[in-house]
A = this chain, B = another copy of it.
Amino acid sequence: MTDAQPDAGRDQVVMLSGGVGGAKLALGLSRVMKPDRLVIVANTSDDFTCLGLHVSPDIDTVVYTLAGLADPERGWGRAEETWNFIGAISDLGGEDWFRLGDRDLAMHVTRTRRLAEGASLTEVTAQLARALDVGVSILPMTDQSVATVVETARGDLAFQHYFVRERCEPEVTGFRFAGISDARINPVLERVLGSGRVAGVIIGPSNPYVSIDPILGIPGMRTALERAGCRVLAVSPIVGGTAIKGPAAKMMRELGVPVTATGIARHYGQLADILVIDHADRDETDAIRDLGQEVLCTATVMHTLDDREQLARDCLRALGLAIP
């Protein structure tokens, strides 16, 4: 995107993230660089109102992961969770397809109350992260409401209806983001990107369609990223023809896009200066270079904490940043 080289005054890293995959890399980054120099931009287009409560799944996955509270097996929600609230909702005949855990509920109740009091989602997110001793700056992509609509063969579905209730089964024909034309880039993020202090932007190994595209689609976001004057690195969420987690591969297939790292490279196009792909996809290196992107071929599947730190170091090095 640009050839600007990092200098001493550039010490911040901005990472765009959806849920689990992005959160894992965010955790790795937070452990190999100064956490207060790291800014995570979380997708909020899968936010929704559940039982009257404002739920921000991607923000919470990032917060819980960075706070050490995320459930390691389930991939969402909190460790050592209990489910008595949602069981009681079932007993009352309420909607129970979105499994709100008892501890998790504290986030949604607090967020809902603070938003009703007039706080912005940025302020609430900062408050929640601070309360859980998270030193990384976690920013919602926007303070306005944006809602992913999944266009499917069975008709339009709100994202969580598609993702949780329908278990990603309906065939996808497209996406749109309701409200996005009225959304404004997060004001804190806009300041960070315009500060001249950003040394690199990382697009996490998140779903390009429903996690990253809504962030990039906020009016002014691409321009702000360009003006940051640093290189953009994207980590492919596709490894060996499949997605590590979630419906990215299924979506690509249904949209007629090759389920390959090259497919991801094409998706991000000129926005990405560097694509990080897994060793399993090394055969695609030349094809991706032909698209004008540098390629870093490394281990991108993050099973352990060491994996996360190692991938984080690889990304920072590829951006030309010193690792402390």
The size of the chain A interface, using a CB distance under 8 A, is: 30
With an 8 A cutoff between CB atoms, is A105 at the interface? yes
Q: Which residue of B lies closest to A92 (CB)?
A: B131
Given contacts A51-B113, A52-B113, A113-B52, contact A106 B82 (CB under 8 A): no
Binding stretch for chain B, among A83-91, A156-164, A204-212, A256-264: A83-91
Binding site for B on A (CB under 8 A): 51-53, 78, 81-82, 84-89, 91-94, 102-107, 109-110, 112-113, 116, 128, 131-132
Are A88 and B113 neighbours in the complex by a CB distance under 8 Å?
A: no
Are B109 and A51 neighbours in the complex by a CB distance under 8 Å?
A: yes
Q: Which of B92, B93, B94, B112 contacts A52 (CB 8 A)?
A: B112
What's the Cα separation between A125 and B224 when bound, in Å?
Answer: 51
Report whether over half of chain A's contact residues are helix, strand or loop; otherwise say mixed.
helix
What's the Cα separation between A268 and B85 when bound, in Å?
Answer: 41
A81 neighbours in B (Cβ, 8 Å): 84
Are B52 and A116 neighbours in the complex by a CB distance under 8 Å?
A: yes
What's the Cα separation between A110 and B107 when bound, in Å?
Answer: 17
Given contacts A53-B109, A113-B52, contact A132 B92 (CB under 8 A): yes
What's the Cα separation between A102 and B100 when bound, in Å?
Answer: 11
A104 neighbours in B (Cβ, 8 Å): 88
